A and B are shown apart, each in its own frame.
Chain A
Amino acid sequence: MRRFLLAFVLFAALAAVPAFADTAMLTLVARAMIFALAATSLGFILGQGGLVSFGHAATMGIGAYAVGILMEEGGRDALVSFPVSMAAAGLFALVTGAISLRTRGVYFIMITLAFGQMAFFVTQSLSAYGGDDGLTLAARSTVAGARWLKDPKTFHYVVLGLLALTVLVSTMLARSPFGRVLAAGRDNERRLRALGVDPYAYRLVAYVIAGAFAGLAGALYANLTEFVSPAYLSWHRSAEFIVMVVAGGPGSALGPVLGALGVVLLEDGLAHLTEHWRIIFGPLLVLLVLARGGIATLLGGRRDG
């Protein structure tokens, strides 16, 4: 019950933001929500499946590049470019996941990092699309020809709606038999196999779903910044996503959202206070992680299973 209340308060607060925020504030909150969407997809495979992917930024970056490249080639509409973003990111997750998921633990972390860096260097070498310097978008995507996304308030609600959808999908998956198998494989793979279930296919499907949603986050991020660059795929960004998930609490569907909002808004707030904001940010992060389960646990929103 507390969990529903928490979700309701959180989304109501986000829905109320355009009522008082200026454009700079709206941009900041949209950025936080887009990262929250990506963090939710990572939180699903990390929390539910125990799969610590260190290449999640690559899937998001591929989604962003899909929008950028399509626009360069004249494909401006989100109804085409967003699904293409999700498909491209999902395909990348399928190919790299099929190999990575044969390993476990620290090897899985290293191999996802390696694939992420490969994608990073590929985007750096795309000289037709800006290479190292990145690619500036001519405009935001249209939606069925209409230029809705240009308006910051409309963009805010589009992002908020897609974030809510992502959290809903993540919750449904976690409660399904599919999610139960993922959790069982995380807790005790040996016992799961003895029940007659090989967790590989389940993990791969989860990995592809998470990749596709990260691709969606990338498509939104490309539209927010009207720019794509190799930095979107860098391992620093991947590490940030892990920080958001762990700080927010990987055991709950809302945890990664809280973590991402917290990290992005806190970073911005502290950066206004002092140049040396990381000195405050670091210890705060340690305290959150020591609270075992992150922000979500502090607020009482644990996910069972």
Chain B
Amino acid sequence: MAEALLEIAGLAKAYGALHVTAGVDLAVLPGEIHALIGPNGAGKTTLVGQISGEVMPDAGTIRFDGADITRLPVHRRARLGLARAFQITSIFPRFTALEHAALAVMAARGRTFRLLRPASSDRAAREEAVGLLEEVGLAARAGVAAAALSHGEKRALELAMALAARPRLMLLDEPMAGTGPAESAAMVALLTRLKGRCAILLVEHDMDAVFRLADRISVLVNGRIIACGTPDAVRADAAVRAAYLGDGA
């Protein structure tokens, strides 16, 4: 096996008596799309929170590219190349799509602590931002205020902002949730295009999308990884079928 990009060992987090993360080991390889699936309440969101740095684990370690990041704050992890696109679309309502992408580019390049020149005069950031919007299919909507974008477009914008950092690992929290079939298909196509540019840890309920996109799948049930492997191996796994896919999915 190649050297893992993200390596989680013995991760544990409890809220009172509830062990939401109960000793998770997980490795994401460079460039792979690694899907994290599991029934509701399995602890996916808490696990992603610990990887991004918003939730501090009780025990265990998280290593990114060989460095221990278990205790690093969110913005330091982002700087190392660990980007996150959010599940609850959480953008800045008054900014346009282009301003979002440009801010993300400037943040990633450390060009935000500038006080007197207008943000719009940063040509390089602007060009890169336009490129990102083209890549996610939002070029035509660049001047639209984010609050006026459709649900799917906001998701695409989230992705463009995450990509601005040229991340080595992207955490994608349910990019298909709440989108229609057409938007879903567009998102799958987009993620397929991104394949290989960076590793993606994909948390998703849409099984069609997961089995089409993922190189490997980890199944989280009750805070534990009960299976990890290729889509075919996971589909055939008896424990997974019993715990999760048993109801004909």
* Chain B positions 79-99 with a Cβ under 8 Å from a chain A Cβ: 79, 83-84, 86, 90-95, 99
The 7 closest A-B pairs by CB, nearest first: A196-B78, A175-B118, A187-B92, A195-B107, A193-B74, A177-B112, A198-B75
Residues of A within 8 A of B111 (CB): 177
Q: Are B52 and A184 in contact (CB under 8 A)?
A: no
The contact string, 1 if C-beta is below 8 Å from chain B, for chain A 176-213, is: 11111101100110111111111001100100000000
- Tell me, rounded to whole Å, the shortest Cβ–Cβ distance linking A189 to chain B: 10
Residues of B within 8 A of A187 (CB): 92-95
The contact string, 1 if C-beta is below 8 Å from chain A, for chain B 152-195, is: 00000000010011000000000000000000000000000000
- Tell me, rounded to whole Å, the shortest Cβ–Cβ distance linking A207 to chain B: 14
Residues of A within 8 A of B114 (CB): 176-178
Residues of B within 8 A of A181 (CB): 103, 107, 112
Say which residue of A172, A195, A202 sits within 8 Å of B113 (CB atoms). A202
Contacts known (A177-B114, A180-B119); A196 close to B93, Cβ less than 8 A:
no
Contacts known (A191-B92, A196-B108); A177 close to B122, Cβ less than 8 A:
yes
**Interface range for A:** 20 to 34
**Interface range for B:** 35 or more
- Tell me, rounded to whole Å, the shortest Cβ–Cβ distance linking B123 to chain A: 13
Q: Are A176 and B119 in contact (CB under 8 A)?
A: yes
**In the docked arrangement, what's the CA distance between A193 and B54, Å?**
10
Q: Which residue of A lies closest to B165 (CB)?
A: A196
A98 within 8 A of partner (CB):
no
Residues of B within 8 A of A180 (CB): 95, 99, 103, 106, 112, 119
**In the docked arrangement, what's the CA distance between A272 and B73, Å?**
58
Say which residue of A190, A192, A196 sits within 8 Å of B79 (CB atoms). A196
Q: Which residue of B lies closest to A179 (CB)?
A: B119
- Tell me, rounded to whole Å, the shortest Cβ–Cβ distance linking A197 to chain B: 5
Residues of A within 8 A of B54 (CB): 190
B104 within 8 A of partner (CB):
yes
B117 within 8 A of partner (CB):
yes
Contacts known (A177-B113, A197-B112); A191 close to B119, Cβ less than 8 A:
no
Q: Are A176 and B99 in contact (CB under 8 A)?
A: no
**In the docked arrangement, what's the CA distance between A195 and B83, Å?**
7
**In the docked arrangement, what's the CA distance between A231 and B210, Å?**
66
* Chain B positions 116-131 with a Cβ under 8 Å from a chain A Cβ: 116-120, 122
A305 within 8 A of partner (CB):
yes
**In the docked arrangement, what's the CA distance between A197 and B103, Å?**
10
The contact string, 1 if C-beta is below 8 Å from chain B, for chain A 291-305, is: 000000000000011
B140 within 8 A of partner (CB):
no
**In the docked arrangement, what's the CA distance between A88 and B184, Å?**
57
A118 within 8 A of partner (CB):
no
A114 within 8 A of partner (CB):
no
What are 10 contact pairs spanning A and B, CB under 8 A? Answer: A177-B106, A177-B122, A178-B112, A178-B114, A183-B92, A184-B95, A192-B107, A195-B78, A195-B161, A196-B75
**In the docked arrangement, what's the CA distance between A187 and B108, Å?**
19
Say which residue of B75, B99, B112 sits within 8 Å of A305 (CB atoms). B99
Given contacts A176-B116, A194-B74, A196-B165, 9 further A-B contacts (CB under 8 A): A172-B118, A175-B119, A176-B114, A177-B119, A184-B95, A187-B94, A191-B90, A195-B165, A198-B73
Contacts known (A183-B94, A202-B113); A193 close to B119, Cβ less than 8 A:
no
A173 within 8 A of partner (CB):
yes
- Tell me, rounded to whole Å, the shortest Cβ–Cβ distance linking B56 to chain A: 14
Q: Which residue of A lies closest to B94 (CB)?
A: A305
B17 within 8 A of partner (CB):
no
Q: Are B117 and A305 in contact (CB under 8 A)?
A: no
**In the docked arrangement, what's the CA distance between A194 and B113, Å?**
17
